[in-house]
Amino acid sequence: SKPKQFLDILGTGKSFIRHTYERFVGLVPPERFLVVTNARYKELVLQHIPEISEQQVLCEPVGRNTAPCIAYAAYRLHRTDPGARMIVTPSDHLILNEDDFRNVISECLAFAGEHDALMTVGIKPTRPDTGYGYIQVTDGKPISKVKCFTEKPGLELAQTFLQCGEFFWNSGIFVWTVGAIIEAFRLHLPELHALFEGIRSSMGTPEEPQAIGRVFSECRAVSIDYGVMEKADNVYVRCGDFGWSDVGTWGSLYQHARKDRYANAKPAEGCYAYDTRSSIISLPAGKVAVVSGLKEYIVVDTDDVLMICPRSEEQNIKKYIDEVKFHTGDRYI
């Protein structure tokens, strides 16, 4: 009901989606933003980014992975500006060095406009992380042609990637011209391309929601990486190191969260920790918790669920969720 892009997980006073908007507003004027989201989050988006209008929130009737939602945004942009350059970014990532990041994006915009390239942003890996996809480059230049993409590898392969030096984390951030990505859809996802071509005249009109409902009911779920980037021959990567994380695990959240003198990441108020170290504790607002004697634990309390487990066993959380779901359905998920 409230995904992490709408949360202030790191205690900065701003949600992830708000940080994302502010990160790009220096490069892109507010009226040129589009947010693609599930229809049920439309009002939340407008609350967090009041600078944009209702027409700038593109509502998916149902999730179909990243290729259809990117196609939706591309065709809407093409309707108003066929020569537009387009930045695609997740709304729930952390970037610490925003000036360096904006410089990287500016380079990508220039390169994509000059070379008709599909650009992606690669992150220099700091550890053999099995939770990210990897991009292999052809040379050591800042902008390099992509040799191949590899989905989330096992630990042994991730260690090899780290030692090799040719592999970068796939950030899921893309830059291209609208014409280039639409042509890529035509070549590599012709069925999806045909569906959106069929509703081109409805874009930006009162008929758009109904037309989009029809397209999303007919298109298959496919990621932009699998559907386009792994197949195209004009894919380039700009590699950077600007303090990026998708904050997709409790471990990555702990790494970036503010900590007390005992290395605990916990709320500033309401949490009383005794003989507790290197733990991460999350509580609902207005709730008081007393935690004693824990070392390197995750403690997450919500209105209806309490989870306590060692940080070293975080990989088992999915198993815990599956078991709870098996016994109780979706009520607590």
Q: Same domain for 212 and 321? A: no
3-state secondary structure of 217: helix
Question: Is 27 domain-assigned?
Answer: yes
pTM listed for this prediction: 0.87
Predicted local confidence at residue 16, as pLDDT: 95
Gyration radius from the chain CA atoms: 21
CB crowding 261-300: b at 16 or more within 10 Å, else e: eeebbbeeeebebeebeebbbbbeeeeebebeebeebbbe
**27 Cα distance to chain centroid:** 19
Of 103, 106, 167, 175, nearest in space to 140 by CA: 167
Each residue of 182-197: pLDDT tens digit? 999 999 999 999 999 9
Question: Is 72 domain-assigned?
Answer: yes
> What is the torsional sign of CA 191, 192, 195, 197?
negative
Q: And the tokens for 99?
A: 């000036």
Q: Same domain for 227 and 298? A: no
Gap between the Cα atoms of 91 and 246, Å rounded:
10
Question: Is 133 domain-assigned?
Answer: no
Q: Same domain for 265 and 223? A: no
Question: Is 162 domain-assigned?
Answer: no
For the chain, first and last CA: distance in Å?
10
Domain residues for the domain of 315 are 259-328
Q: Same domain for 283 and 226? A: no
Q: What's the mean pLDDT in 39-57?
A: 97
Contact 280, 263 (CB under 8 A): no
Gap between the Cα atoms of 60 and 35, Å rounded:
10
Question: Is 207 domain-assigned?
Answer: yes
Question: Is 251 domain-assigned?
Answer: no
Region for residue 76 given its phi and psi (left: phi exceeds 0; alpha: psi -120 to 50; beta: otherwise): alpha
Gap between the Cα atoms of 189 and 50, Å rounded:
35
Predicted local confidence at residue 130, as pLDDT: 81
Q: Same domain for 264 and 232? A: no
- The CA-atom distances, in angstroms, between 72 and each of 75, 119, 207, 255 are 5, 19, 14, 35
Predicted local confidence at residue 10, as pLDDT: 81
Say whether pLDDT at 8 is over 90: no
Q: What's the mean pLDDT in 68-97?
A: 96
Instruction: Report the percentage of the chain scoring pLDDT > 90.
Output: 77
Q: Same domain for 18 and 44? A: yes
Q: Same domain for 282 and 230? A: no
Answer with the one of 245, 267, 282 that is the final residue of a domain.
Answer: 245
User: How many folded domains does the chain comprise?
Assistant: 2
Say whether pLDDT at 127 is over 80: yes
Place of tokens 């030096």: 165
Each residue of 227-271: pLDDT tens digit? 999 999 999 999 988 988 888 788 888 888 889 999 999 988 899
Gap between the Cα atoms of 43 and 81, Å rounded:
26
Q: H or E segment at 106?
A: helix 98-115
Which has more pLDDT, 153 or 118? 118
Say whether pLDDT at 11 is over 80: no
Question: Is 68 domain-assigned?
Answer: yes
Question: Is 204 domain-assigned?
Answer: yes
pLDDT band for 72, please (50, 70, 90 cuts): very high
3-state secondary structure of 238: strand
**328 Cα distance to chain centroid:** 29
Predicted local confidence at residue 249, as pLDDT: 81
Q: Same domain for 312 and 241? A: no
Say whether pLDDT at 316 is over 90: no
Q: What's the mean pLDDT in 118-123?
A: 96
In CATH, what number is assigned to the domain containing residue 102?
3.90.550.10
What integer best gives the mean pLDDT of the chain?
93
Q: Same domain for 206 and 289? A: no
In one-letter notation, the amino acid at residue 33 is F
Q: Same domain for 237 and 277? A: no
Q: Same domain for 214 and 311? A: no
Predicted local confidence at residue 258, as pLDDT: 87
In one-letter notation, the amino acid at residue 142 is P
Answer with the one of 214, 245, 276 that is the final residue of a domain.
Answer: 245
Gap between the Cα atoms of 111 and 177, Å rounded:
10
Each residue of 198-208: pLDDT tens digit? 999 999 999 99
Answer with the one of 222, 245, 268 that is the final residue of a domain.
Answer: 245
DSSP 277: B
Q: Same domain for 235 and 283? A: no
pLDDT band for 146, please (50, 70, 90 cuts): very high
Gap between the Cα atoms of 81 and 86, Å rounded:
11
Say whether pLDDT at 225 is over 80: yes
Contact 68, 219 (CB under 8 A): yes
Place of tokens 């995904």: 3
Q: Which of 39-43, 70-74, 85-89, 310-314 has the lowest mean pLDDT?
A: 310-314
3-state secondary structure of 119: strand
pLDDT band for 32, please (50, 70, 90 cuts): very high
